[in-house]
Structure 1
Amino acid sequence: MSLLEPVAFAPAAVLFDMDGLMIESERALLECWREASRELGLDVDDALWLSFVGLSDRVCHEMLRERFAEDQLQALLSGLQVRYDARVEAGLPLKTGVLELLALLKQRGIPRAVGTSTRRPRALQKLELCGLLPHFDAVVTGSDVAHSKPAPDIYLLAAEQLGVAPEHCIVLEDSAAGVRAALAAGMTPIQVPDLVAPDEGVRALGHRIVESLVQARALIEPALR
């Protein structure tokens, strides 16, 4: 399969990741990590923060506990939250093409759900502030499942809530963890990488990889006709 080959089936639903896929939030979060760690005099390179992309808060905090003492970790998380709260409240920009794709899917009667590792209160806050919440029929978050991405739980629950079979779902994702979750759920992922480019191991999964949601739409739209 070509990585730019149009989808060969008419999807019964399209499932969307949130951060880094629809909302331009990963760069803001990275900047907040940098500021918070600098303020505490912690010498941490961007690779650590970027390794968190697509993972749940719980997993990220476990990884941080391997690097920092508990008092340092709590100070770091507190500084991060204050900064990121301000960014979210100010409004985060949307990714190019997301509203057009959502409008197309709605016009064609294709159900849509959000599947994000973010905790429910934060996810709903972001979706509402960005004006995305009304575009979706279901929202499944890291708060709603026992295992977050790369486990398939989030996407399986989203399909269940929409009443569609997993094999008839397309998943739009930016992260490797999300792609692995979609594949484990038996779904068809299209990856739109954000800050982290897919490495050889991710590319070997054989899924479609595009540069933008505009390109993703071009792979989906022919199947809707």
Structure 2
Amino acid sequence: MIKAVIFDFDGLIVDTETAWYDAFKETMELYHVELPLEQFVKGIGSDDIALFQYFKEQLGERYNPEEIQSKADRIHKDKMTSPHTREGVRDYLEEARKLNYKIALASSSPKDWVTHYLKELQLLHYFDELITRDDVENVKPEPDLYLKAIEALNISPKEAVAFEDSLNGLKAALTAGLKCVIVPNPVTDALPFENHHLRLTSMAEMSLYRVIQLIDKD
């Protein structure tokens, strides 16, 4: 029986990822370097190691990671001046509360990044636990974040369902033993998701109650 729902953050609750892709793409254009979407998505849900390795290969002696990050940060900040939740997110959180599910967040981002947006969007109070990269040794696709969330909620993996938007997140959830619902964003929509238990275009497509019904039958 499902007792908890665990949400990813970036790209799922708030679509920061499309803004990050645009920010890095525009930054690379300043160096006359293209950033293919298929290269960018490799790090979604995890870290930027592969992304910056690509930059290093493309830029050679011009490679300056601090400069690149600084330029991208400024562009991203401009694009995220009025953040908003993805469609259906707030309804799912409200419904989870009414159904007496425990609610956690499992994010590869730093805690201050996550809490900043959750406070601004007035969502922080919904969560029983916030598990971020600050709490574990390894981020997604390793299962550490989900295992830590399960431990904090005092439940077993089979009693939780994860909501994810990336391949790295999906792998982390499945490896931890959770069922996983994929809700891709515009940047991750074309990724080759496999072995997930359900896929939605957005959380507005189906009620949380119905999702849990389908997941428990699976």
Q: TM-score range by the shorter chain?
A: 0.7 to 0.9
In structure 2, the CA distance between the partners of 1:132 and 1:58, relative to structure 1 (3 Å rule), is farther
- Whether the 8 Å contact between 1:171 and 1:190 is mirrored in structure 2 is yes
- 2:77 corresponds to which residue? 85
Deviations 1:102-127 (A, max 9, x none): 00111121110111111222122122
Deviations 1:175-195 (A, max 9, x none): 111111000000110111112
2:201 corresponds, among 189, 211, 215, to: 211
Tell me whether 1:162 sits opposite 2:160 in the alignment: no
Number of aligned residues: 212
In structure 1, stretches of 5+ residues that fail to align are: 1-9
- Whether the 8 Å contact between 2:198 and 2:215 is mirrored in structure 1 is no
User: Hey, what's the Cα distance between the residues in 1 that align with 2:147 and 2:51?
Assistant: 23
Structure 1 stretches of at least 4 aligned residues deviating more than 6 Å after TM superposition: none
How far did residue 77 of structure 1 move? 1.1
User: Hey, what's the Cα distance between the residues in 2 that align with 1:177 and 1:18?
Assistant: 13
In structure 2, the CA distance between the partners of 1:134 and 1:96, relative to structure 1 (3 Å rule), is same
Tell me whether 1:102 sits opposite 2:93 in the alignment: yes
What is the TM-score normalised by the length of structure 2?
0.86
- Whether the 8 Å contact between 2:33 and 2:58 is mirrored in structure 1 is no
In structure 2, the CA distance between the partners of 1:86 and 1:34, relative to structure 1 (3 Å rule), is same
Select between 100-109 and 32-41 the one with higher mean Cα deviation: 32-41
2:178 corresponds, among 184, 187, 200, to: 187
- Whether the 8 Å contact between 2:141 and 2:171 is mirrored in structure 1 is yes
- Whether the 8 Å contact between 1:91 and 1:129 is mirrored in structure 2 is no
- 1:54 corresponds to which residue? 45
State the AA in 2 paired with 1:22. I
- Whether the 8 Å contact between 1:176 and 1:198 is mirrored in structure 2 is no
In structure 2, the CA distance between the partners of 1:149 and 1:66, relative to structure 1 (3 Å rule), is farther
How far did residue 132 of structure 1 move? 1.7
- Structure of higher RCO (CA pairs closer than 8 Å, 6+ residues apart): 1
- 2:68 corresponds to which residue? 76
How far did residue 67 of structure 1 move? 4.2
Kindly, what percent of the aligned residue pairs are identical? 24
- Whether the 8 Å contact between 2:170 and 2:196 is mirrored in structure 1 is no
Q: Is the partner of 1:213 in helix, strand or coil?
A: coil
2:111 corresponds, among 113, 120, 123, to: 120
What is the TM-score normalised by the length of structure 1?
0.84
User: Hey, what's the Cα distance between the residues in 2 that align with 1:67 and 1:142?
Assistant: 28
User: Hey, what's the Cα distance between the residues in 2 that align with 1:26 and 1:65?
Assistant: 21
